[in-house]
Structure 1
Amino acid sequence: MKKALVSIAVLTILLASSTFAQELPNPGILPDHPLYPVKTFLEKVRLWLTFDPEARARFHAFLAEQRLAELNTTLAQGKYQYALRLREEYERELNESENETEKAFGLGRNATALLEHVCDMTYKHISVLERVLSKAPEAARPGLERAINASIHGHEKCLERVEEILNRTNDTLKRRSCTSDADCLNISVWCPQSFGRELRCFIPDNKTTGICMCLPKWNKTRINCTDDSECRGLVCPAILGNDTAICLNGRCVCGARWEIRNRTELRERFREEFGEEFTNRTENITERIRERVEAEIKIRRKS
């Protein structure tokens, strides 16, 4: 028991760091406050009165951040008795947000703005929790790993949906011919700048006309490299988790910061905690994204 309390105390110091706090909203009333039941009751009332799945998904995402912020603050204040409940509620709100997002797309809604928001939020949570986990004592890691797992799962689902939409976007764009980038400006398709994309006219070699495509934005097209320092000019879309330009097999590619740092150590812990199925799923999605990025770099270089 004493050892556990010491571990929690160390974790408290880590969670109370200013960097962590800056990335979370103000939690407001905490679980030990007499009015906290009123706060949660009003949250439920708002959900009862919200019927649109897109609005419900966004509100569940907001509640997930609230629970994570409450967890951070209660631990910083030494109120350890609330940690387990808040972590479980955080995971539940993430799952509910995911379910409502799927409902919105199932109804044919253009919920791309919601998708960007969820991707951004879950990526931020992974980044924050991974930094804490890398310094946490062994006894405090299982709970943090479960929270990271929930965020990774939500981020994976978001990336899968992004991939589906972008594939449909480029299928639509293949029917639009162009001679310059200006010909692609007024097309009503989803090509989000926040995901590092922009509408461009891709003209093959020895051709005068091409087709509009939703391509990644790079500051540099050079892809040959010998070390990471030569890739600093590569602009990587942070929402996709690819916020770190690295040199991989002699080429500059975008990598995930939370995955690159302590990559082997993290995956070993996830394998022990969640089994091969989780590890394989994560590796497959990460590899798919990396292959797509490398393919798009080749297209951009040819253009």
Structure 2
Amino acid sequence: MRKIVVFFLTFFLLLISVPSTYMISQSQNIQIEPKTVVYNLPYPGILPDHPLYFLKSIRDDLLLVTTRDPNKKAQLLLHLSDKQIATSKALLEKGKEEKALGSLDKSQDLFKDIFSIIKTAKAQGQDVPSEFKETLLQSNTKHKEVVSEILEEVSEANIPTIQRILETNQTILNEIEKT
């Protein structure tokens, strides 16, 4: 009986120790993927080349005019800015480079408007939530990523425009850090 118990204990110990020794001795390859921003852009909806796009523009303008709370208005501007970035990406995929660049410009303009709204909120005694500041940073980083992707796809004639947009993006980043 004793021999059987010793045999099973030895067998069990070997069964446990051999695979762990094998796993320790193997080398592992670690692949690091390029860093991408984890920030989802909204669906762009109707693009500027659609005949009913003017209705979307009117709706967006009405939303901006009727939104009175500065924090909500800043969030709305961020959302519209993100939509414009997504729109420019979609337009570039359709081969409409000039309209894509126009959407990029509009996106950066909307993003810059956020800071005047934040100043208004602070003047009224409202605090800007720290989560919103973090969202602004993530969005700005995503915008820079998308603009850099677009830079690789545009023609030589439009590269200075993209570089100007990247400079504006950096200015916006500096404003976010001041906030």
What is the TM-score of this pair, normalised by structure 1?
Answer: 0.43
Does structure 2 retain, via aligned residues, the 8 Å contact 1:54–1:101? yes
Equivalent in 144, 160, 169 of residue 142 of structure 1:
160
**What residue number does 2:61 align with?**
44
> Does residue 144 of structure 2 align to residue 126 of structure 1?
yes
2:124 is aligned, of 96, 104, 107, to 107
Distance of 2:137 and 2:162 partners within structure 1: 20
What's the CA shift for 1:79? 2.2
Question: Is residue 2:88 matched to residue 1:74?
Answer: no
Q: Percent identity?
A: 26
In the alignment, what sits opposite 1:33?
50
Tell me the equivalent position of 2:100: 83
Q: Aligned in 2, Cα 1:120/1:106: closer, same or farther, shift over 3 Å?
A: farther
| Aligned counterparts of 1:36 and 1:136: Cα–Cα separation in 2 | 24
CA contact (8 A) 2:89 2:146 kept: no
1: CA distance, partners of 2:61 / 2:150: 31
Task: Give the number of the structure with larger relative contact order, counting CA–CA contacts within 8 Å between residues 6 or more apart.
Answer: 2
Residue 175 of structure 2 corresponds to 157
More helix by share: 2
Deviation at 1:42, TM superposition (A): 0.7
What does 1:49-68 correspond to in 2, within 5 Å?
49-68=66-85
Distance in 2 (alpha carbons) for counterparts of 1:137 and 1:85: 15
Structure ranking higher in strand proportion: 1
Output one character per residue of 1:140-193: Cα deviation in whole Å (capped at 9) or x when no partner: 3212212222222111111122xxxxxxxxxxxxxxxxxxxxxxxxxxxxxxxx
| Change over 3 Å in CA distance of 1:94–1:36 after alignment to 2 | same
Distance 2:132 2:83 in 1: 18
Q: CA deviation at 1:28?
A: 0.8
What is the alpha-carbon distance in structure 2 between the residues aligned to residue 127 and residue 77 of structure 1?
A: 19
Q: Which residue identity does 1:55 align to in structure 2? A: K
Work out whether residues 119 and 158 of structure 1, in 8 Å CA contact, stay in contact via their aligned partners in 2.
yes
What do residues 207-254 of structure 1 show as CA deviations (whole Å, max 9, x unaligned)?
xxxxxxxxxxxxxxxxxxxxxxxxxxxxxxxxxxxxxxxxxxxxxxxx
| Structure 1 unaligned blocks of 5 or more | 1-18, 162-303
Q: Report the Cα distance in structure 2 between the residues aligned to 1:127 and 1:28, rounded to whole angstroms.
A: 21
Q: How many residues align?
A: 142
Structure 2 residue runs without a partner (length 5+): 1-35
Aligned in 2, Cα 1:137/1:85: closer, same or farther, shift over 3 Å?
closer
1:86-136 deviation digits (Å, cap 9, x = unpaired):
222112101111211222223221212322221221122123323543676
